[in-house]
């Protein structure tokens, strides 16, 4: 018998090159899908005909097609870690997919859930929650709902010891609540960073908030409620 051949480990430069090629391929596929998109709603037809060129104007109506958001702004997304891998004594590592099972006569039927935040990093943010029998359809559903739920938030330079004039933090103290989770966002001076949990950091980065203090209370390990409380706090920035 011949000696088995082992795959040579890729260098960091090769991994980076492969990631760049993969990203370019995904961008080309996404651009082609937008060109082939045939809108079904009146708002979608106006955006396709370039009669509406601003996302603020589109948000005056109910958005029912995620391609509208893709055409009007360059969106990026991130997945929140709402699940937990199996570990000894329940101490498994956090992961993106939340798996549940339903008991039937044929056996256990698994279901995967996923939570995605989408925005442009400049004052727009949306969050979606999707469930499916497989992981990729669940992520696609969550991304679609995140784009449909996109909203505009207000930012400012509101800290008492910062006079930079840039929009880098929340305009005033806001408090969001979901279930037992409460998230309070407090304006911070430039250079402070995001003083908050890791999953809420993902939300604030995509929303375009770079500096903030925070205070959280309640069952903070319930990531779904914590993320929704953070979104609720950002939504309250519009209530001047």
Q: Give dist(CA 119, CA 69) in Å, integer.
A: 9
| Mean of pLDDT values over 50-63 | 92
Cβ proximity of 65 and 44 under 8 Å = yes
Q: How far is CA 173 from the centre of its chain?
A: 22
Q: How many CB atoms lie within 10 A of CB 208?
A: 17
Domains in the chain with CATH codes: 24-72 (no CATH), 76-151 (3.30.160.20), 153-238 (3.30.230.10)
pLDDT digits (tens, 9 = 90+) for 62-106: 999 999 999 999 899 999 999 887 776 666 788 888 988 899 888
Alpha carbon distances (Å) from 153 to 38, 127, 208 = 30, 13, 9
| Sign of the CA dihedral with 24 first, then 82, 63, and 54 last | negative
Asked if the model's pLDDT at residue 142 lies above 80, the reply is yes
Long-range residue pairs from 142-146, CB within 8 A, at least 24 positions apart, any chain = 142/79, 142/114, 142/115, 142/116, 143/66, 143/77, 143/116, 143/118, 144/66, 145/116, 146/77, 146/116, 146/117, 146/118
**Contacts (Cβ under 8 Å, ≥6 apart) of 184:** 173, 174, 175, 214, 215, 216, 233
State pLDDT tens for residues 108-120. Answer: 999 999 999 999 9
User: Residue 129: which of 178, 59, 169, 170 has the closest Cα?
Assistant: 178
pTM of the model: 0.84
Q: Are strands 174-178 and 181-186 parallel, antiparallel or unpaired?
A: antiparallel
Per-residue pLDDT, 68:
93
Please, which pLDDT band fits residue 21 given cuts at 50, 70 and 90? confident
The set of residues, in sequence order, having a beta carbon less than 8 Å from that of 222 and lying 6+ positions away, is 179, 180, 181
Which pLDDT score, from 0 to 100, does residue 163 have?
Answer: 81
The residue whose two tokens read 């999707």 is: 130
Helix (H, G, I), strand (E, B) or coil at 174: strand
- Asked if 233 and 176 touch (Cβ cutoff 8 Å), the reply is yes
Query: Tokens in use for 89?
Result: 């004594």
Q: What is the mean pLDDT of the chain?
A: 88
């Amino acid at each position: 018998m011949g000696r088995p051949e082992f795959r040579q480990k890729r260098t960091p430069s090769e991994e980076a090159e492969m990631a760049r090629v993969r990203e370019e391929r995904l961008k080309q596929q996404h651009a082609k899908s937008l060109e082939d998109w045939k809108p079904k709603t009146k708002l979608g037809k106006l955006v396709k005909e370039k009669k509406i060129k601003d996302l603020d104007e589109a948000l005056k109506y109910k958005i029912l097609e995620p391609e509208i958001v893709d055409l009007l702004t360059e969106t990026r997304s991130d997945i929140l870690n709402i699940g937990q891998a199996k570990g000894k004594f329940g101490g498994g590592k956090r992961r993106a997919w939340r798996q549940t099972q339903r008991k039937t006569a044929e056996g256990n039927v698994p279901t995967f859930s996923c939570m995605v935040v989408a925005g442009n990093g400049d004052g727009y943010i949306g969050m979606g929650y999707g469930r499916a029998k497989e992981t990729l359809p669940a992520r696609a559903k969550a991304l679609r709902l995140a784009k449909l739920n996109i909203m505009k938030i207000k930012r400012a330079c509101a800290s008492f010891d910062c006079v930079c004039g840039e929009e880098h933090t929340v305009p005033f103290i806001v408090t969001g609540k979901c279930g037992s989770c409460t998230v309070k966002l407090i304006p911070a001076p430039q250079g402070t960073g995001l003083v908050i949990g890791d999953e809420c950091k993902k939300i604030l980065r995509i929303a375009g908030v770079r500096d903030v203090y925070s205070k959280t209370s309640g069952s903070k390990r319930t990531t779904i409620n914590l993320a929704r409380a953070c979104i609720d706090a950002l939504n309250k920035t519009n209530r001047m």
